[in-house]
Amino acid sequence: MKKIGIIGGGQLGKMMILDGRRMDYEFVIVDPTVKCPAHNIADSHIVAGFEDIEAIKRMASRVDVVTYEFEHISVEALKEVEASGTPVYPSSKTLERIQNKLRQKEWLRKHEIPVPDFLSVKSQADIEHSAELFSYPLILKTCTGGYDGKGNYVISNPDEIEKGYQALGAGKVELMVERCIDFVKEVSILACRSLNGDIAVYPIAENVHKNSILDETTVPARISKETEAEGMQIAKECLKAFDAYGMLCIELFVTKEGHILVNELAPRPHNSGHYTIEGCYTSQYEQHVRAILGLPLGNASLIRPTAMKNIIGDHSASEAELLGLEEAYKNPNVKVHIYGKEKVVNGRKMGHITATADTIEEALEQVRKAHQALSFR
């Protein structure tokens, strides 16, 4: 029986385990939260931080392969695990090139994959220089650690340069600045490569964010055939450029001209891929498990139009008691996924809702109606 180690026991790790269970695999997780979402279903849980190299090595000694559910972890730990003989996918080299956003963009540009214009920031003067090159607004970013809008600062005019620079550490952390893209859509593509060489690319998903957090995903994306083909090609090029195995999510901007620019990469299953559980023949979680074990990949095709809506905490509470499930389930097409987080926190992803239908519009209407029925207290 194969044993898989996962760094991280959040909702992505939980859903990976749920799909891996059907294939009779065992799972060991490392996560600092005692009652993390995956705690109750993992075979073993090592309670330790994501930078705890010794804990990660201890987990690796008990499994056949190691993977991770998010990228803000110790690359050095992964290198030591690989050196000890336990494989890690995606590899430490892949993560090292993606984890730092400046290094990621430089690598993409080196491989002629289209990205927004960007510059490294060493001082406030560098931001002023970028404004001369790119004009306003600008996006100032921390190179590591940011997600869901954290670590980003929009600079709209010269008066905000110092504010942004101070807000993101005033040079204490590595920074970069990007040209702000006047996009018409945000989309994402899930691509996967197995150790046996198989490649699977999922349909392009259309995403809507609220307060910099993913709110809704609809599939297929409402884009032209030419834009779709360009996106599919970029996804395959990204897999190759970063020598990535397992799931890779490519977040993209669609420009007014219908072209695509890469925003960011995530070397793991992704929030915008939750729809694959009900919407595709093979979920991104099963696909990831297959890939890192060298199995043939499953069919990544869409079964029918699908919509997914996140359930985001809109207040803080000591307990996460869900209300309204009976009302939400009055629509038999609706599926509700609750992650099992102990506390509701404003802005925290608590679960998601998925519906499939004959049209995107119908599916979207169904998840929105179900979402209105649900709440936490």
Domain boundary, last residue among 301, 317, 339? 301
- CA diameter of the chain: 61
Binding-site residue numbers are: 101, 141, 178-181, 186, 209, 263-264
Cα-based torsion angle of the residue sequence 36, 277, 239, 175 in order, rounded to the nearest 10 degrees = -40
- The CATH number given to whatever domain includes residue 154 is 3.30.1490.20
Q: CATH number of the domain at 272, please.
A: 3.30.470.20
Separation CA 2–CA 95 (nearest Å): 24
How many domains, the chain? 4
The answer on 323 and 282 residing in a single domain is no
Helix (H, G, I), strand (E, B) or coil at 107: helix
Query: Are 25 and 84 within one domain?
Result: yes
Last residue of a domain, which of 151, 179, 207? Answer: 179
Per-residue DSSP letter, 298:
P
Q: Where are the beta strands (DSSP E) in the chain?
A: 3-7, 26-30, 44-46, 65-68, 118-121, 138-142, 152-155, 175-179, 185-193, 199-201, 205-210, 213-219, 246-254, 260-266, 306-312, 322-323, 334-338, 349-356, 375-376
Which of 88, 103, 134 corresponds to the end of one domain? 88
Shared domain check, 291 and 205: yes
The helix/strand/coil state of 31 is coil
Query: Which segments are annotated as binding site for ATP?
Result: 101, 141, 178-181, 186, 209, 263-264
Check whether residue 43 and residue 75 sit in a common domain.
yes
Nearest to 102 by CA among 75, 65, 139, 135: 139
* 100 located within any domain: no
Q: Same domain, yes or no, for 156 and 239?
A: no
Q: Is residue 202 part of a domain?
A: yes
Closest CA to 46 of 18, 8, 73: 8
CATH number for the domain harbouring residue 58: 3.40.50.20
Q: What residues make up the domain containing 248?
A: 192-301
- The per-residue pLDDT string of the chain (377 residues; one tens digit each, 9 = 90 and over) reads 799 999 999 999 999 999 999 999 999 999 999 999 999 999 999 999 999 999 999 999 999 999 999 999 999 999 999 999 999 999 999 999 999 999 999 999 999 999 999 999 999 999 999 999 999 999 999 999 877 777 899 999 999 999 999 999 988 899 999 999 999 999 999 999 999 999 999 999 999 999 989 999 999 999 999 999 999 999 999 999 999 999 999 999 999 999 999 999 999 999 999 999 999 999 999 999 999 999 999 999 999 999 999 999 987 776 778 999 999 999 999 999 999 998 999 899 999 999 999 999 999 999 999 999 999 87
Does one domain contain both 241 and 310?
A: no
Domain annotation covers residue 101: no
Asked if 69 and 84 sit in the same domain, the reply is yes
